[in-house]
Structure 1
């Protein structure tokens, strides 16, 4: 700022002094030329004139320089003050006093203009500050009278009033929106509480279902284990039944062999009966011949009687044996029939057991698959339970936050 003042002072000095010096020098040159060309001008007189002219020129220059410096100082200092005032106004500082406002010249007029601008800016600043305070305090009805402010200041007031109107409208919209949000929040709170209660009930139901599924999984595993034991037992019984069927086949073959042997024995007994019958006939013939022989045939008669008695006993024994053998053959045939029936029954039992083993194996496999399915279902229910618990917590938080 100081360098600017010096530059201004220098320019003023150059603008005033240089033209004056040029004019004075030109006029003095011509005057001195005329004087030196006058008749009777001696060298001493010429030197005296030149010396006097130089002294007058120097004194005039000094007086003119002092006058210019004084005049420049009276102009530059007020301009410097006014420039400082303008800079403070530009910086937003309105709290100062304009010292040159009482001057009657153009600088005073400029000072008064700066003073008026200062006052107007201070009023505008105060009004804007009060308007902001009123808005913060909730008083939205205060408006500035824009007609009292000239030019752009009036437009600033109009713009401020429009901003206040916009803020009022925005606040009304915000208030309406807040009321709507409050209403919706209450509704959401009620719905969130309802959802929370429903989610809690749902979580309880899912826990109950999970326990039921876990119990069903345990029972399915028990059924699978029982089915495995039944399958192994059925396989053992089937093996024993197959073994019994083979034994019954062997028994049937043995009974059939006994039946055949009994038939052979029956034939032998018939032969023995025939022999006994023939022996009895021979004994009768011998008795007849012994009776004819008289005394000489007495011993032979005794032998014949013994043979006859033995033949009778043999015939009786053969008859009894034949009866017993017939009964044995009948019972053997009955046993063979029963054995065949038992063989068929055991074969059917083996077939049934094989079918039962297959069915039990299928049941065991179904139990395994069912156990896997229930296990997956239980895992899925666990995930659903976690989701429901998370939703329950979220719903409770939403209900709490919406309140």
Structure 2
């Protein structure tokens, strides 16, 4: 939407918006701070006022106590000087009641038993009958007259008598209802103990006070004209309530629920002050409450509440706030009028002049000069104009330089294009030659590979033959060993046959000797001679058999020896063959290794040729790309020259 308006309006709006925002924020902060400070100050003033008024209220409320202390002192003096006449005491109290102390509506006293005359003498007296003749007097005012009332027996145990006698200190009761001269009236009672010269308690004096009698005095206790005061006793009973006349005598918790919520009575009883804001039906608006204790006696705090409309406390704050708002509105109106005029004179008119030069430059005119008068300005606009002039001059020089460079680039690109075309032709010829060489090398590599495979097969066959010869040599060697074992066994058999032959020879001799001995024996040795003859025959047969076996074994040994020699000669021949096969295998291994290396060398040469072919192909592609780039560069240089021709340059 703001694009429809001029720069002057938009700049004015931006500046004023920021300015207004700053002023509004600062004003709000000031108003809040002033409001808080003034509110705190007012609240502090109110609290101090309430504390001061509390002290003032304490003095007002204790006037009756002071008055009662004077009465107690008078009665003590009468007692201590030995006066025991009841009428004298009665007259003194009656005179005190007649003094018309407005807040006190009745006074009385109660002496301990048998201290003033003999109590038994008054048991039939209408004023002392109920308390068995004990001297107790209660005098009240009624239309200016003093009326004597009797004490009921139950009153002897009332808190205003018991507490004063027990603690031997003054005591104040909470608000309660009491029948005075035939009327039930809300009162509270002061009681003071009285003593003889030895300090012994001899009785109690009391004074009854009505809350209504405190109205004029309490009403003066307020810091603002619209403030309302509430006074409550130690039990929380309302003694005075400027907000609600029907609440007197009722407990604050019954009249105001928020009293119970905040624990007002307990806090005041403990001596604590508090303040807060809350909507109140008294003013039908938010009010500020300040509650403070009033120390009536040690341990007995009454409470005073002062309610003031918050608007009254914050009146000064509202005045300051309204004044600041009026000043702010005045500043805004003046700014709305002056700011656009200043911006038009100091900004808009100058921008219009500079805009004309910018529009001229956009049409390609680089011959424009600084607007007249700007070169003498010493402010930022002068700096902008001079900077603009220098920028246009530098821009003109740059365009001229670019034009000259573009012309040189065009010429160089044309020359590079011609050279790339010639290089492309030579690269294609070289690529064709490399392809033919690669084909020949592939054929050579194939032939060498076949030769290498044949050599590998021959090597494998020689290795197989060598293994067979090794196996045969092993068998021959085993045969030689076995022949040697057989020869050794034959030799051992021959030794055994010789032993047997020797045994047979010995046996034959023994048999011969036996026969000789048998012949000598005659008939008795005939049987033994026969046996000896058989043994001799057997020995001879054995000897002949052994000779035949020995002859056979000797012949076998000769043949085995010949066979062993033949086997050993075969082993020697096989060993020679193995040595020759080893040399043949070694030669074939070297041939195989040489063939494999030759095959690898051919493969490497083939790979190198393939790489050269690929490089040549890449070179051809690069040459083609360089040619295309040269053509593109030439075209771009021509386009740049056409674009530069758009500008109107200085000489």
Give me the TM-score of the superposition, normalised by structure 1.
0.38
Q: Tell me: higher relative CO, structure 1 or 2? Use CA pairs within 8 A at least 6 residues apart.
A: 1
TM-score w.r.t. length of structure 2? 0.25
More helix by share: 1
The structure where strand makes up a greater share of residues is 2
